Structure 1
């Protein structure tokens, strides 16, 4: 997808210069059209980066699928391949979370905690745009997990 097309899809209400320089602010109405466009763009760019890296990984794995006569080289190559495949699996799961976040942008629920309905902080969303819980709800969730894990 070209950057111009991505911009048009991601932020129709921002001109190109605003689009590149805009950062959400606590002084604005929460999840206004500019903020939604900003996070849509951030999510799409992240997804595109992951897909590009995955394609590069697949290309490299296909090139590397040669037979190594030395057993140490073969073992090293297989270890590298296993690591790449695990990374790719994590990225696949991340893409599904990005897609879910994009759906929340579309349905108007993006930026709000799934447990409390309260706004998730802009700084948290900027750092982790796929966040579904507010910082407080996430900490509470992690404390519950820790309690059950210690049993």
Structure 2
């Protein structure tokens, strides 16, 4: 099934077996690509040699720290993908964890790991901003 075919399905097909299979395949593919990228980046970090020139040491360490931060973000995304796959297995995928409403196909196509509807996510972000300001 293509994205266009998915979006063309009637509303009563929401999270049908074929739609769940589409998103499961999408998530598994993304997970595999992410794991390969993480493995490659870890290998690069392990094989990294410090520059002999002290002037280059600072920028090299900054670049290494940036790579570590990127790996941490990718690891968190990998965890979110696994959580989404768990929601598919339990029948909860596509439904807002807060309100129980549909998350929506378009949102899931853009962010297949989404567990909240747009409205619930906006409320969560507003609350987080409010807490930071206090």
TM-score by length of structure 1 reads 0.80
Distance 1:144 1:79 in 2: 33
Say which of 97, 102, 125 aligns to 1:114.
97
Aligned to 1:53: 37
SS of alignment partner, residue 105 of structure 1: helix
Unaligned runs of 5+ in 2: none
Seen in structure 2, the aligned counterparts of structure 1 residues 67 and 142 have a Cα distance that, compared at 3 Å, is closer
Unaligned runs of 5+ in 1: 1-18
Aligned to 1:33: 17
Q: How many residues align?
A: 131
> In the alignment, is residue 139 of structure 1 matched against residue 125 of structure 2?
no
**Does structure 1 conserve the Cα–Cα contact (< 8 Å) formed by 2:50 and 2:60?**
no
Aligned to 2:28: 44
Distance 1:67 1:107 in 2: 47
Which is bigger in relative contact order (C-alpha 8 A, separation at least 6)?
A: 2
Q: Quote how far apart the aligned CAs of 1:148 are.
A: 2.0
> In the alignment, is residue 62 of structure 1 matched against residue 59 of structure 2?
no
TM-score by length of structure 2 reads 0.89
